[in-house]
Amino acid sequence: MAQNFPLTPNASPLTGMKKFEKPIYITKPFMPPLEEFTEGLKEIWDNQWLTNSGPLLQRLSGAMSKFLDIENLTLFSNGTLALQIGLQGLGITGEVITTPFSFVATTHALYWNKIRPVFCDIEPDFYTLDPQKVEAAITPWTTAILAVHVFGHPCNLEALADIARRHNLKLIYDAAHAFGVKVGGKSIAQYGDLSMFSFHATKIYHSIEGGMLVFPDPSLRTEVDYLKNFGFKNEVEVVMPGTNAKMNELQALMGLHVLKYLPALIEKRRTLADRYRQRLKAIPGIHLPPQPPAGVDYNYAYFPIEVDEQEYGMSRDQLYENLKKYNVFARRYFYPLICDFACYQNVPVTDPLEVARGVAERILTLPIYFDLELEQVEGICGLIEFRSGFVRSNV
């Protein structure tokens, strides 16, 4: 049965449970050394070239190609516009099977293309689309699957590719969380007909705001490049009603600098995630996702836990509110489900979404970012652990 948190903030000599002095948010963007960034700014000042495919953008594009070992990619002002344009570039229409357990932009990108989302359930371990449910949701109007590597966990790549091949559907990945993830030694960007990455400030890798499309078909490149620049083919020809979704030079500069640190960013998060696992694994009612399967190089983009109210003795929402009192701002990513937002409530949903509904009620993503200290992770775990009444054997 749920109970109130017994401690008031700042008043815990008994347990050492103190309110953190400064707020600890779910994430903090990594800031490269200021001197390095300033050097790059000088170049931008000299160039007097701020956007529209400038030299730094070209450099970032090259660096990305090398990093991902992929030729066909193009950069955008943000991930949402990248996905909208990618869908348009592939000519997707009708119905698209997608997940309700994601950031709302996944479905918005369909809506902006007048495509009907068909929400389908997820699997309970890594929260990605359940291939069996996907297959059951296919209708004569289905043209594509839009799956999400949610929290950076790879979808069931083989099963989805098999379904897409057998039903002649495009397979599109919202890989907003999955930058730096590898499967079988290959970048996750190398799977499917199209992948979108977000480089938003809250992501493991960022360019302040930014996005990228990666695709195996080189002929898509021209189309999406026109679409992100008003449809201009040259100075006097506009070949399609495009929009403005160009990455600017300041974004590209940040992207170039942060990319150098990516291995260190992943490594630090791995250490933090290991500590969370160690400290939380034996707490009754706190469930962690399994370790990523063999062959997956994970990026530790998020640290989700599930709170079982009965076992833990407190609901997810109570834990979330109580952590806030101690200056810990965990997030309920992704609650509510996208299909439950007012703007999508009129979309018919036939799948009962049993797994997704349960996960959305129990999920809590804990702070994880480069500047977070192990002691802070200890403190957060202490708050979670204390409430459970669980006593560590080494205390």
8 A C-beta contact, residue 251 and residue 209: yes
* CA angle 40–41–46, rounded 5-degree value: 100
Q: Closest CB to ligand T4K among 365 and 388?
A: 365
Q: Which of 26, 57, 214, 286 binds ligand T4K (CB under 6 A)?
A: 26
What's the min distance (Å) between Cβ of 65 and ligand T4K?
Answer: 20
Contact with ligand T4K (CB under 6 A) among 54, 79, 117, 131 = 79
Neighbours of 69 (CB within 10 A): 10
Q: Which residue has the tokens 């996005």?
A: 211
Which amino acid belongs to residue 38? T
Give me the 294-333 binding string for ligand T4K, x by CB under 6 A, dash otherwise. Answer: -----------------------------------x---x
Assess 181 for contact with ligand T4K (CB under 6 A).
Answer: no
**Is 207 near ligand T4K (CB under 6 A)?**
no
Min dist. Cβ of residue 200 to ligand T4K (A): 3
Q: State which residue has the least CB distance to ligand T4K.
A: 79
The answer to whether 25 contacts ligand T4K (rule: CB under 6 A) is yes
Indicate whether 84 belongs to the interface with ligand T4K (CB under 6 A): no
Kindly tell me which of 7 and 338 has the beta carbon lying closer to ligand T4K. 338
Could you give the CA distance from residue 364 to residue 361 in angstroms, rounded to a whole number?
A: 9
Query: Site for ligand T4K (CB under 6 A): which residue of 129, 176, 213, 256?
Result: 176
Nearer to ligand T4K, 79 or 382 (CB): 79
Q: Does 78 bind ligand T4K (CB under 6 A)?
A: yes
Residue 103 interacts with ligand T4K (CB under 6 A): yes or no: yes
CB of 27 to ligand T4K, least distance (A): 5
Residue 294 phi/psi, 5-degree rounding, is -55, 145
218 Ramachandran zone, left/alpha/beta (phi>0; psi -120 to 50) = alpha
Beta carbons within 8 Å of 246's beta carbon, 6+ residues apart: 51, 52, 53, 76, 77, 228, 229
| Alpha carbons 69 and 388: distance in angstroms, whole number | 46
**What does the alpha-carbon distance between residue 253 and residue 260 come to, in Å, rounded to a whole number?**
12
Instruction: Report the nearest approach of ligand T4K to the CB of residue 201 (Å).
Output: 4
303: nearest Cα among 263, 330, 337, 324: 330
Asked if residue 202 binds ligand T4K (CB under 6 A), the reply is: yes
Q: Indicate the residue among 153 and 362 with the shorter CB distance to ligand T4K.
A: 153
Dist CA 173 CA 80 (whole Å): 13
Give, in order, the Cα–Cα distances in Å from 48 to each of 35, 58, 227, 248, 257.
20, 15, 25, 12, 20
- Among residues 105 and 160, whose Cβ is nearest to ligand T4K? 105
Q: Quick one: 61 or 102, whose CB is closer to ligand T4K?
A: 102
What are the angstrom distances between the C-alpha of 61 and each of 78, 190, 237, 253, 345?
15, 16, 25, 11, 39
CB of 46 to ligand T4K, least distance (A): 28
- Beta carbon of residue 178, minimum distance to ligand T4K (angstroms, whole number): 9
Site for ligand T4K in 219-258 (CB under 6 A): none
DSSP string, 278-325: HHHTTSTTEE-PPPPPTTEE-----EEEEE-HHHHSS-HHHHHHHHHH
Taking a C-beta distance cutoff of 8 angstroms, is the pair 228, 244 a contact?
A: yes
Q: Which of 121, 130, 174, 385 binds ligand T4K (CB under 6 A)?
A: 174
Q: Which of 12, 20, 29, 112 binds ligand T4K (CB under 6 A)?
A: 29
Q: Which of 28, 116, 221, 277 binds ligand T4K (CB under 6 A)?
A: 28
Question: In a 10 Å sphere around its CB, with 0-12 CB exposed, 13-18 middle and 19+ buried, how is residue 116 labelled?
Answer: middle
Positions touching ligand T4K (CB under 6 A) are 25-29, 78-80, 102-103, 105-106, 148, 174, 176-177, 198, 200-202, 211, 329, 333
